[in-house]
């Protein structure tokens, strides 16, 4: 490892003007109860909470200077590290670091270790005060402190690096297993990142042992300082569970390898490397553990998976915030009341999202009062759950519940709505009838949105007096969780309607993508082609287990698990819609039709074996064509590559970036594959960029 002076000089050389520098502001705070003076370092990049603190070369240099100043000040007896409101830090500034090449990555890896470990080795007791989001290096800086507090409502704590084609490289891969045990480390370092970047809340982080104390409310910092004073005075003794370094560690490493094999199929070098780091952390010294992290980061910086991850990261950080093709936002009309046609589960989920994000009146309608009451009751119950968990207060719960109402008569409640969305049965005639009824009772400027997953927006609007105000507004299930919102432009949809749809989607905190009207839009069309090819292979004789095992590392889950998740009937409907539009490419499986007719919801039993009843419904060809997993993968991906090229040629989206963004945020395709198109290019199946 290079000495710190050399590292600091090299960091200056590779620093980039593109880095949004996170400053480290040091102030002295007199602790209560005579506990001395804390040198409190606040990380702040000068932006609001929508632009989190990150660590690039200059950010690490600034933190190093602040820590040195605190250590050199004889009046300072303890050091604390916290962040600007709601944010500790979101890890490394990946864009600025990656641009420096492998040598630069090595410098930043070593520099992060050298700076952070001063919080352990400086000779003054240190406290990590996790006041909000703490991801990657943001969590690792706190892990280097002697003690940690966390805000219970912190929205996201985690180590997402494996999802990005990296490993926790500033101490996380070594410190976490040695703090909370190898099994919890496997969850945080591998399982959660490979599960679409799942994180934990502040309360959950405390329960897992990442923090020693948890506090809530606006006075989190004051409570943390009081607690720190009691620790320093000996009034509070922090006891941590002893880590099991025996068979439990072996079992955790075995579980890690199993998780990685199932989720990546060996296609993620970062995941494989993380397993090795956790295994080695049992007996390695801290210096050895940190050196192994440095080497892993340098090695992984040269992989195509990291390049794909940086591409994907840029999509979700930048393109998602500036949707390609969206009209000028100044054209958007205000939305002060929302109407929803339908009161089933999907409609109720939408009502919950609208009222929480927009905080405007939301009214559900349906065919009879019983259905309406059930939908409203669902939303009220979900609000009560948030209240019980402490995620909202009583006043907000009361206000939100009062905003959600229902009625049978649309004319009674939709006349002053600015935005009405239908969530009724996926049948064109039904939806056209709904819009015909709604148009009679709403204002001339009211947007009419449809949550259809596959039907033509243009056809749906064709018979209306004002087809220009109809727009596709396609949520993914579950509505509150899935980030993607496909905004579909029909042939008549005007800019004011589109702008209002995009503004509303942004207010709902969704990733919005403009899609031109075409069968099944983006995600369902690509997944439809995927499932069409897969079904064809199975119907021709390849065992379903072979097919399911062919896509680890490609799709977020095995294809027939995916069918169970979306529902065989919905999968069949989507395929039928696509086959009607493109009969030469899309295949409707007779076996799937039989599964739907038999009302089977899943292909596999809870223990993972093929359901015998489903097996009896599958095709048994006279001359079966049995493919290997590699042949299955190649055949299916070739079909996907063809569909991607056709969609781009048709102008369904502005570019391949939108296809990838949609597959990442709407279908859970991995960062380290770059979504879909970069994976297809790496497989030699086309050139799309």
Q: Tokens standing for 250?
A: 């072996």
pLDDT at 566: 84
Global model pTM greater than 0.95: no
Domains in the chain: ranges and CATH: 1-159+199-234 (3.90.226.10), 161-197+244-302 (no CATH), 329-516 (3.40.50.720), 523-651 (1.10.1040.50)
Give 281-320 pLDDT, tens digit per residue. Answer: 999 999 999 999 999 999 998 888 888 988 998 899 889 9
Task: DSSP for 207-259, please give it.
Answer: HHTS-SEEE-STTHHHHHHHHHHHHHHTSS----PPP--SHHHHHHHHHHHHH
Question: Is residue 145's pLDDT more than 70?
Answer: yes
Label residue 535 by pLDDT band (50, 70, 90).
very high
SS3 37: strand
Residues near 544 by beta carbon (within 8 Å), at least 6 away in sequence: 538, 560, 603, 610, 618
Question: Is residue 671's pLDDT more than 70?
Answer: yes
Radius of gyration of the chain (CA): 27
Strand partners, 128: 81, 148
Q: Tokens standing for 122?
A: 């400086």
pLDDT at 96: 67
SS3 294: helix
Label residue 547 by pLDDT band (50, 70, 90).
very high
pLDDT at 218: 82
Strand partners, 44: 23
Taking the C-alpha atoms of residue 93 and residue 536, their distance in angstroms, rounded to an integer, is 44
Give 463-498 pLDDT, tens digit per residue. Answer: 999 999 999 999 998 999 899 999 999 999 999 999
Give Dmax over CA atoms of the chain in angstroms: 86
Question: Is residue 17's pLDDT more than 80?
Answer: no
Question: Is residue 97's pLDDT more than 80?
Answer: no
pLDDT at 16: 77
Counts for the chain of helices (H) and strands (E), in that order? 31, 17
pLDDT at 1: 59
Mean pLDDT (whole number) for 338-342: 97
Q: What are phi and psi of 150, to 5 degrees?
A: -145, 145
Q: How far is CA 72 from CA 68, 399, 429, in A?
A: 6, 52, 76
Cβ–Cβ under 8 Å, residues 65 and 58: no
Mean pLDDT (whole number) for 322-333: 95
Q: How far is CA 416 from CA 174, 329, 409, 410, 419, in A?
A: 59, 22, 14, 11, 9
Question: Is residue 399's pLDDT more than 90?
Answer: yes
Question: Is residue 509's pLDDT more than 90?
Answer: yes
């Amino acid at each position: 490892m290079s000495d710190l002076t050399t590292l600091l000089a090299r960091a200056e050389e590779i620093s980039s003007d593109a880095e949004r520098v996170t400053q480290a502001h040091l102030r002295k705070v007199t602790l209560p109860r005579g506990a001395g003076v804390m040198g409190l370092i606040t990380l702040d990049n000068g932006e609001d909470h929508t632009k989190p603190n990150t660590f690039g070369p200059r950010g690490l240099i600034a933190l190093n200077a602040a820590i040195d100043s605190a250590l050199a000040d004889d009046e300072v007896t303890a050091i604390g590290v916290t962040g600007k409101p709601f944010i500790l830090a979101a890890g490394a500034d990946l864009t600025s670091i990656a641009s420096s090449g492998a040598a630069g990555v090595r410098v930043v890896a070593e520099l992060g270790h050298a700076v952070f470990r001063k919080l352990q080795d400086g000779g003054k007791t240190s406290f990590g005060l996790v006041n909000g989001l703490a991801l990657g290096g943001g969590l690792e800086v706190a892990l280097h402190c002697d003690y940690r507090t966390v805000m219970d409502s912190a929205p996201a704590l985690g180590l997402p690096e494996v999802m990005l084609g990296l490993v926790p490289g500033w101490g996380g891969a070594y410190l976490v297993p040695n703090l909370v045990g190898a099994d919890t480390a496997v969850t945080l370092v591998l399982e959660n990142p490979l599960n679409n970047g799942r994180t934990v809340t502040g309360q959950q982080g405390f329960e897992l042992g990442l923090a020693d104390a948890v506090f809530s409310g606006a006075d989190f910092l004051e409570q943390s300082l009081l607690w720190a004073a009691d620790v320093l005075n000996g009034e509070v003794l922090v006891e941590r569970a002893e880590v099991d370094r025996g068979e439990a560690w072996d079992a955790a490493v075995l579980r890690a390898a199993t998780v990685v094999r199932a989720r990546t199929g060996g296609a993620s070098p970062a995941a494989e490397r993380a397993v090795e780091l956790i295994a080695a952390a049992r007996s390695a010294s801290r210096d050895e553990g940190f050196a192994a992290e440095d080497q892993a980061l340098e090695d992984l910086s040269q992989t195509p998976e990291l390049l794909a991850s940086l591409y994907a990261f840029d999509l979700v950080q930048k393109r998602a915030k500036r949707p390609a093709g969206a009209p000028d936002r100044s054209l958007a009309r205000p939305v002060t009341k929302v109407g929803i046609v339908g009161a089933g589960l999907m409609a109720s989920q939408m009502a919950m999202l609208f009222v929480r994000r927009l905080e405007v009146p939301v009214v559900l309608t349906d065919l009879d009062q019983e259905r309406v009451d059930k939908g409203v009751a669902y939303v009220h119950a979900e609000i009560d759950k948030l209240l019980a968990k402490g995620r909202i207060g009583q006043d907000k719960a009361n206000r939100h519940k009062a905003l959600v109402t229902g009625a049978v008569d649309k004319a009674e409640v939709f006349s002053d709505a600015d935005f009405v969305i239908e969530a009724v049965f996926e049948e064109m005639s039904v939806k056209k009838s709904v819009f015909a009824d709604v148009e009679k009772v709403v204002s001339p400027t009211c947007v009419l949105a449809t949550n259809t997953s596959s039907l033509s927006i243009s056809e749906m609007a064709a018979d209306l007096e004002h087809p220009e105000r109809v727009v596709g507004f396609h949520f993914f299930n579950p509505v509150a969780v899935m980030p993607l919102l496909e905004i579909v432009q029909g042939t008549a949809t005007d800019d004011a309607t589109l702008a209002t749809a995009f503004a509303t989607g942004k207010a709902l905190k969704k990733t919005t993508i403009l899609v031109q009207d075409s069968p099944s839009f983006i995600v369902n069309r690509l997944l439809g082609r995927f499932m069409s090819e897969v079904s064809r292979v199975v119907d021709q004789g390849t065992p379903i287990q072979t097919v399911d095992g062919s896509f680890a590392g490609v799709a977020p889950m095995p294809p027939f698990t995916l069918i169970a998740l979306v529902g065989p009937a919905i999968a069949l409907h989507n395929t039928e819609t696509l086959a009607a539009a493109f009969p030469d490419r899309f295949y409707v499986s007779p076996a799937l039709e039989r599964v739907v007719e038999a009302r089977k919801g899943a292909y596999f039993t809870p223990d993972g074996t093929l359901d015998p009843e489903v097996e009896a419904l599958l095709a048994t060809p006279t001359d079966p064509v049995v493919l290997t997993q590699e042949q299955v993968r190649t055949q299916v991906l070739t079909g996907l590559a063809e569909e991607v090229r056709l969609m781009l040629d048709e102008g369904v989206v502005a570019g391949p970036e939108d296809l990838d963004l949609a597959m990442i945020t709407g279908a859970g395709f991995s960062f380290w594959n770059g979504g879909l198109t970069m994976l297809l290019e790496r497989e030699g199946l086309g050139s799309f960029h």
